[in-house]
């Protein structure tokens, strides 16, 4: 019988890279400690800061929200706002939004929902069709824009997302293989913001395995969307990379953690912030590498007019109407 390394009772979960098991309670504590240590290690959340957490409804972001709320005293932020974007994906977005509100109610945090259909008149599937771009590419662009804009209008210091180690490692590998140094340089635990333009992004699950966060969500009985987005499409490089990484992890437990830390060290040596500082979009005032930002260009192409300014103004209205909670 595998025993819990903390209390000696029967282990419910085995963590291969620790080479040890944990009972349920000590497993939850272990994962929470790991997230808190990651936040401290990379100095993600200044004391007293205002934190926006992006909630998709999936296990990762919802579990992250629970951990941030549970360990608030230790982490030391001053205010927390959970933000969800309803992406208008039939059969999936309704469930994701239901899960979002359920967790908001359970945790009693300030919650803001942004509805893409209400903002633009269309959701991700139509934007994808009209632009001729893959759904995930359009979706990623829209989420980045909306989350940054709402974090700005809320006056947030930090924007947290639920990207875990497995995702980050695969993204890194893809960027290394395609020599995309600019994108690679953004895949860090903390992406520093630029005053008035971008809010600092943090990834508190940067050193947490996907398997561990899934087990955490199940063990703590958290409500999350179990199914996958019907529009999800993984390319061949991503599928093969994941399989290869898993094979190496099975052979050498802890491989993934060592690999991600090594890539990060390499990025630091090569110089952080390889990407140039963005300037302002001339139409909406949001960050852009060119005169017009990619969101304004996408909406102009698909909807006939650039919607950035309209979205930013609508988000300011939505943010001002949402009441505070006991955690704000
Ligand atoms: Fe958006 Fe793609 Fe994720 Fe679906 S799988 S929510 S389309 S990024
Ligand atoms: Zn125990
Ligand atoms: Zn713009």
* Contact call for residues 22 and 11 (beta carbons, < 8 A): yes
For the CA of 229, the closest atom of ligand 1 is 4
Distance 247 CA to ligand 3 centre (A): 43
Whole-number pLDDT of residue 267: 86
For the CA of 228, the closest atom of ligand 1 is 5
Range of the domain at 33: 27-226+236-277+309-320
Distance 18 CA to ligand 2 centre (A): 14
Ligand index nearest the alpha carbon of residue 4: 2
Residue 202 lies in a domain: yes
Distance 215 CA to ligand 2 centre (A): 15
Task: Please write the tens of the pLDDT for every residue from 77-96.
Answer: 999 999 999 999 999 999 99
Whole-number pLDDT of residue 276: 65
Whole-number pLDDT of residue 237: 85
Q: Would you say residue 274 has pLDDT above 80?
A: no
For the CA of 232, the closest atom of ligand 1 is 5
Residue 42 lies in a domain: yes
Q: How many distinct structural domains can be found in the chain? A: 1
The binding-site residues of ligand 1, defined as CB within 6 angstroms of any ligand atom, are 87, 124, 135-136, 139-140, 229, 231-232
- Shortest-distance Cα residue to atom 7 of ligand 1: 136
Residue 108 lies in a domain: yes
Name the residue of 136, 137, 171, 235 to mutate for ligand 1: max ligand atoms within 8 A of Cβ. 136
Distance 29 CA to ligand 2 centre (A): 9
Residue 304 lies in a domain: no
Mean predicted lDDT score pLDDT of the chain: 93
Q: What is the CATH number of the domain that holds 203?
A: 3.40.50.620
Higher pLDDT, 32 or 323: 32
pTM of the entire predicted model:
0.94
Residue 253 lies in a domain: yes
* Contact call for residues 308 and 302 (beta carbons, < 8 A): no
- Shortest-distance Cα residue to atom 2 of ligand 1: 136
Distance 25 CA to ligand 2 centre (A): 6
Task: Please write the tens of the pLDDT for every residue from 99-141.
Answer: 999 999 999 999 999 999 999 999 999 999 999 999 999 999 9
Compute and round to an integer the Cα radius of gyration of the chain: 20
Task: Please write the tens of the pLDDT for every residue from 131-189.
Answer: 999 999 999 999 999 999 999 999 999 999 999 999 999 999 988 888 888 888 889 99
Return the HEC string of the chain: CCEECCCCCECCEEECCCCEEECHHHHHHHHHHHHHHHHHHCCCCCCCCEEEEECCCCHHHHHHHHHHHHCHHHHCCCEEEEEEEECCCCCCHHHHHHHHHHHHHHHCCEEEEEEHHHHHCCCHHHHHHHHCCCHHHHHHHHHHHHHHHHHHHCCCCEEECCCCHHHHHHHHHHHHHCCCHHHHCCCCCEECCECCCECEEECCCCCCCHHHHHHHHHHCCCCCCCCCCCCCCCCHHHHHHHHHHHHHHHHCCCHHHHHHHHHHHHHHHHCCCCCCCCEECCCCCCEECCCCCHHHHHHHHHHCCCCHHHHHHHHHHHHHHCCCCCCC
Ligand 3 ion local residues (Cβ < 5 A): 281, 283-284, 293, 296, 308
- Shortest-distance Cα residue to atom 8 of ligand 1: 136
Distance 262 CA to ligand 3 centre (A): 36
* Contact call for residues 100 and 113 (beta carbons, < 8 A): yes
Residue 129 lies in a domain: yes
Residue 213 lies in a domain: yes
Residue 71 lies in a domain: yes
Q: Would you say residue 32 has pLDDT above 90?
A: yes
């Amino acid at each position: 019988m595998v025993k819990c390394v903390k209390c000696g009772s029967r282990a419910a979960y085995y963590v291969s890279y620790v080479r040890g098991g944990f009972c349920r309670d000590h497993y939850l504590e272990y994962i929470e400690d790991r997230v808190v240590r990651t936040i401290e290690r990379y100095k993600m959340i200044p004391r007293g800061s205002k934190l926006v957490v992006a909630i998709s409804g999936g296990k990762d972001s919802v579990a992250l929200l629970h951990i941030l709320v549970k360990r608030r005293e230790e982490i030391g932020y001053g205010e927390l706002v959970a933000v969800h974007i309803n992406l208008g994906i039939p059969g999936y977005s309704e469930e994701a939004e239901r899960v979002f509100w359920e967790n908001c109610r359970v945790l009693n945090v300030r919650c803001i929902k942004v509805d893409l259909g209400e903002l633009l008149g269309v959701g991700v599937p139509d934007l994808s069709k009209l632009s001729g771009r893959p759904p995930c590419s359009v979706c990623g662009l829209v989420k980045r824009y909306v989350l940054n804009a709402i974090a700005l209008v809320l006056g947030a210091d930090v924007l947290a997302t639920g990207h875990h180690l497995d995702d980050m490692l695969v993204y890194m590998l893809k960027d290394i293989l395609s020599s995309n140094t600019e994108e690679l340089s953004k895949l860090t635990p903390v992406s520093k913001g630029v005053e008035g333009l971008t809010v600092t992004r943090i990834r508190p699950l940067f050193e947490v395995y996907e398997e561990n966060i899934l087990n955490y969500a199940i063990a703590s009985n958290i409500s999350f969307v179990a199914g996958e987005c019907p529009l999800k499409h993984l390319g061949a490089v991503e599928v093969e990379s994941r399989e290869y990484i898993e094979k190496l992890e099975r052979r050498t437990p802890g491989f993934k953690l060592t690999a991600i830390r090594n890539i990060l060290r390499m990025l630091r040596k090569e110089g952080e912030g390889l990407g140039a500082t963005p300037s302002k979009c001339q139409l909406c005032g949001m960050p852009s590498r060119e005169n017009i930002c990619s969101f304004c260009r996408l909406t102009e192409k698909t909807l006939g007019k650039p919607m950035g300014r309209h979205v930013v103004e609508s988000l300011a209205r939505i943010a001002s109407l949402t009441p505070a909670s006991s955690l704000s």
